[in-house]
Structure 1
Amino acid sequence: MKFPFPGGNPAIDFGVLLLYLAAVLWIGLRAERGPKTVEQFALGGHRMPWWAVLGSLIAAETSAAFFLGTPAEGYALGNYEYLQLALGTVLARVLVAYLFVKPYFTYRVTSIYQFLGLRFGTKTKSAASATFLLTRLLASGARLYVAAILPVLAVKLLWGSPVSSGQELLVYAISALFLTLFTTLYTVAGGIRAVIWTDLLQAGLMLSGGLLTLFLLFQRIPWGSSSPLAEAARLLAALPWADSGINPHKNLWENLGAIFSSDYTIWAALIGSTFTTMATHGTDQDLVQRLLTAKNHHRSRLSLILSGLTDVPLVFLFLTIGIFLGLLARSAHDPRLPSQANEVFPYFILCQTPPGIRGLLLAAIFATAMGSLSAALNALATSFCEDWVFRFLPAATDEKIRVRFLRGSTVLFAFLSIAIACATAFFVLRSPRARILPIVLGLFGYSYGPLLGVFLLGVLTRSRGNDFGNCVAMACGLGVVMVFSGVPQSILGFFSPGGETRLNWLPCVSFPWRVFVGSCTTFLVGLCFPPFPAPRVRTL
């Protein structure tokens, strides 16, 4: 059989990949030999060192969507404007560290939505938990789809003849099934400790894979001068790094409309990205659960803030990979180069890297996918059981039974993630111009704004908000985001082609601003409701 990869039969790559999978499985199964209690399964007994929590946070943030999606943004846009959004993530982590972390430790919650139950009541807790479960499940499925892009592209190259949409969808499904079942195995066995220790390996592999890719690209690009490094530095420095979004020839309202409808501006970085990161790192059980495994809130804060400082160089690294891919594509004129920006980096890995190194990069992609998926499954199971299932169990229920429910819920969400990954693949096959990061971040934008708004109401006020009012506020937040993100226009256009033009007068906000709009709306509406006659407010 003739292989389209350099070096012929990629047996070395499969060997490297199998070695990585064996190492992950060994670490995951030995991390916690059968957690006996809910606290051990979900929080690791609060015994994780801060540097392990830091590595796990980095692994969580650098999912397969980040590993493949960030180069796709650099390739498609050809500049560093996306890097602006990383600035807001640093500020947001500091705010989260001093607003949310200590209350979670003070109340000794397992699911962070229990905090809302203590502060407001059961309805608020249930609404927030349901929002997290739905949003995180959708986002995890979308990230799982991203990880399956590379196996699909490999099959296309090996097949030799055109692959139908149905065959492509089948490969997506098989890839998602394999990755999920393997990840679920050690997640069910070891709980959060298995997640964190395997994340450390996965974070190191991701970083080394990114640096190695950048070096290979630098070697492949035909630089024109005698000093390639100096030429590359001049080229990158000349690219746009920031965009104010302001046009001096437009009036105030026109400029505001342009700013809110643009994906990457300095305002989206300092405001929109700050609110988005506050939501993902302060109100998302997936990331916060890792923070709660630290010994105390001081070490948890340290891990969180340091993770923000690593975010900027990581984004810069992977954007540069995308920009270099664009330079290489323009100089090589490869007729087999995929037309979709999402597939260019996977194509480079498969067809333009030597054996062994290619296996390492394949392992890095699987590592990013498995790291984010394992934590998501553990967080989904924890929130589902703590906020929903355990309330129907007798108070004296044995801890072993509760842990069994946690493990069973982990398996349930694993299969649901596979189904959503297949649905995402079907959507992208029907919409080939869709980009990865707007898909993943757009999912958060609709629901995490209301979630952040009600948490801010809980930590910033002591005498406002109640169970009923919070549900109204969250519904208003979601409704406003949907209106201002173009949902009514899309619905009208679907049922009446061309009819969406009748709603073009509505302002439209881009995905970095959605959490900001939703959280502000929820917070302001929630302020209008006083507490019930017997408030459940506790001193933080």
Structure 2
Amino acid sequence: MSPLILLSFLVVYFAILLGIAYFTSRKTADNSTFFVANRSAKWYVVAFGMIGVALSGVTFISVPGDIGNAPAGLQPNNFSYFQFVLGNAIGFVLIAYVLLPLYYRMQLTSIYTYLEERLGYKSYKSGAMIFLISRTIGSAFRLYLVAIVLQRYIFDTWNIPFIVTVAACLLLIWVYTNKGGLKTILITDILQTTFLVLAVFLSIYFMADGLGWSIPEAMEKIKESSYSKVFVWENLLGDTRHFWKHLIGGIFVTVAMTGLDQDLMQKNLSMKTIGEAQKNMMTFTSIFVVINIFFLCVGALLYFYADANGINIADLGKSDYLYPEIALRHLGILPGIVFMMGLTAATFATTDSALTALTTSYCVDFLNFNKKENPNDPKLVRQRNIVHLAFSVVMLLVIVFFHVINDDSVVTAIFKVAGYTYGPLLGLFAFGILTKKRVNDNLVPYICILAPTLIYLLTLYVLPYTGYKVGFELIVYNGLLTFLLLWLTSPGKLNDKEWQSVK
């Protein structure tokens, strides 16, 4: 497929996003609009738009490509990722009925201000800093995935350097989110989720048609194949895909990466009532589970198509390239445009949302915008614009660094990093919500560094001798160790009056 055609699509796509940004921010572009959309968002709008944010380009490319990968000496992954999705669904329910009531009761703009109320100033700053680091790295990984595809299939044609490709993407995202912030993103999320969902279903149709199958025939072929195997019950110690590892990991990765993450929670806090926020989460959860099933079906069809057309996956370098290779070089112009539509929508929906959340967290948690007499002061708006630009530059540097060192598929890399970075955040919130104990606030920053360091050394030097392989449940171990260290260093309990004010 011609790189010029793909580039033309991207130009039109961004023109639409810029148009949306103009119309959503032309009347008001203050900090209240940017941070929480004036708390006027409709729950059904947010629920649908969150799909694109939660799935991202990782789900769009890495999850389908990964089903044919096989750990050393073991069977291919098949649909085992769905075990993790089931854990995600349980995690979303916990967020809706445990965390959201807490956030709404305290009327939070940044969810990390809870830690200041419950644990202390340094705990609060530690939690906010963990988010800034975690979300910057995670979002950079996600954008990296689409950037390498754009580079390989479009910009390499004109010998444009990778860093220029990434910088151009981030600049465009900064331009259309800079004024309207969350208010703009809630609208662009609808467009991007629509493109993502259409791309999934149309990809299934085009690949089935290319194989000479109807949709029902394709679904039957997938059902009868080994790819449809979901549950892994064997080898609890040595297989990272064991059911309990995936399920437990899915629950706590979701609680940490969604419920304790300013990005997706910022959207929930943009609604008027807790009831609307909970309806949003439950609707979103149902759609999320169904869409992931179809992504796995896309993966099975990719491998069927590769086998039928002599495509050697080893020649591609990594399974992340399988979907773009087939869509852009084998299926024709329309399927190629559909693929690029879905990939671009999924990835930029995640990145624009993350940049807004990072800016919100830094402005509220470190520049104390929420404590200013007039948070919409023009000077503060200019300061927010600078912060927004600075995070774009930081993300650019992280992506370039990751491009140099990456060996894993992106989906594996993201959850591996999240297990270490979000683990202490999980421990902090769990300690605050589940116990009445105080923390030694001065020690909290050191505990948040020590816990993941000890777990990393354990996985590197001890666990290999036991035969135990850590999977998605890595975040649980980091959270538990953080919780234990907070407990051991606790100076005592809150009195009843103090507990009532923060429970």
TM-score by length of 2: 0.90
Whole-Å Cα distance in 2 between the matches of residues 353 and 45 of structure 1?
45
Match of 1:427 among 399, 405, 409: 405
Whole-Å Cα distance in 2 between the matches of residues 96 and 519 of structure 1?
17
Match of 2:434 among 460, 466, 471: 460
CA deviations on 1:193-246 (whole Å, 9 max, x unpaired) are 1111101100010010011111111122266x9x84475144247742110134
Whole-Å Cα distance in 1 between the matches of residues 380 and 103 of structure 2?
22
The answer to whether structure 1 residue 142 and structure 2 residue 105 are counterparts is no
User: Which position in structure 1 is the counterpart of 2:233?
Assistant: 244
Aligned length: 493
In 2 relative to 1, CA 154–238 (structure 1 residues): closer, same or farther, beyond 3 Å? closer
The alpha-carbon deviation at position 536 of structure 1 amounts to: 5.8
CA deviations on 1:76-130 (whole Å, 9 max, x unpaired) are 2361011110000111111111111112112222111111111121100111111
Whole-Å Cα distance in 2 between the matches of residues 101 and 281 of structure 1?
11
The answer to whether structure 1 residue 276 and structure 2 residue 269 are counterparts is no
Contact 1:83 1:241 in 2 (8 A): yes
Residue identity matched to 1:104:
Y
The answer to whether structure 1 residue 213 and structure 2 residue 191 are counterparts is no
The alpha-carbon deviation at position 400 of structure 1 amounts to: 2.3
Match of 1:319 among 286, 292, 296: 296
Contact 2:29 2:180 in 1 (8 A): no
Residue identity matched to 1:303:
N
Contact 1:36 1:399 in 2 (8 A): no
User: Which position in structure 2 is the counterpart of 1:117?
Assistant: 116
The answer to whether structure 1 residue 386 and structure 2 residue 386 are counterparts is no
* 3-state SS of paired residue (1:63): helix
CA deviations on 1:141-173 (whole Å, 9 max, x unpaired) are 1111101122222158857xxxxxxx6xx6322
Which range moved further: 22-31 or 416-425?
A: 22-31
User: Which position in structure 2 is the counterpart of 1:133?
Assistant: 132
Whole-Å Cα distance in 1 between the matches of residues 443 and 3 of structure 2?
60
Residue identity matched to 1:407:
N
The answer to whether structure 1 residue 195 and structure 2 residue 185 are counterparts is yes
Contact 1:43 1:289 in 2 (8 A): yes
The alpha-carbon deviation at position 17 of structure 1 amounts to: 3.5
Contact 2:3 2:153 in 1 (8 A): no
The answer to whether structure 1 residue 338 and structure 2 residue 312 are counterparts is no
In 2 relative to 1, CA 509–479 (structure 1 residues): closer, same or farther, beyond 3 Å? farther
CA deviations on 1:256-284 (whole Å, 9 max, x unpaired) are x33xxx33221023212101111011111
User: Which position in structure 2 is the counterpart of 1:498?
Assistant: none
In 2 relative to 1, CA 72–389 (structure 1 residues): closer, same or farther, beyond 3 Å? same
User: Which position in structure 2 is the counterpart of 1:400?
Assistant: 378
Mapping of residues 292-371 of structure 1, within 5 Å = 292-334=269-311, 338-371=316-349
Whole-Å Cα distance in 2 between the matches of residues 530 and 304 of structure 1?
37
Residue identity matched to 2:323:
F
Contact 1:446 1:518 in 2 (8 A): yes
The answer to whether structure 1 residue 103 and structure 2 residue 102 are counterparts is yes
Contact 1:16 1:356 in 2 (8 A): no
The alpha-carbon deviation at position 300 of structure 1 amounts to: 0.9
Q: CA RMSD in A?
A: 2.8
Match of 2:37 among 44, 52, 76: 44
The alpha-carbon deviation at position 394 of structure 1 amounts to: 6.6
Percent of aligned pairs sharing the same letter = 23
CA deviations on 1:358-404 (whole Å, 9 max, x unpaired) are 22321221111111111110111111111112379975676222222
Structure 1: gaps (5+ residues) = 160-166, 247-254, 490-501
Contact 1:90 1:305 in 2 (8 A): no
Mapping of residues 378-527 of structure 1, within 5 Å = 378-390=356-368, 399-428=377-406, 431=407, 434-468=408-442, 470-486=444-460, 489=461, 504-505=464-465, 509-527=469-487
Contact 1:484 1:508 in 2 (8 A): no
The answer to whether structure 1 residue 153 and structure 2 residue 152 are counterparts is yes
Contact 1:74 1:320 in 2 (8 A): no
Contact 2:3 2:157 in 1 (8 A): no
Structure 2: gaps (5+ residues) = 70-75
The alpha-carbon deviation at position 65 of structure 1 amounts to: 1.5
In 2 relative to 1, CA 322–465 (structure 1 residues): closer, same or farther, beyond 3 Å? same
In 2 relative to 1, CA 67–309 (structure 1 residues): closer, same or farther, beyond 3 Å? same
Contact 2:31 2:375 in 1 (8 A): no
The alpha-carbon deviation at position 343 of structure 1 amounts to: 0.9
The alpha-carbon deviation at position 530 of structure 1 amounts to: 3.5
The alpha-carbon deviation at position 302 of structure 1 amounts to: 1.4
Whole-Å Cα distance in 2 between the matches of residues 48 and 392 of structure 1?
20
Residue identity matched to 1:29:
Y
Contact 1:116 1:125 in 2 (8 A): yes
Residue identity matched to 1:275:
F
Contact 2:364 2:370 in 1 (8 A): no
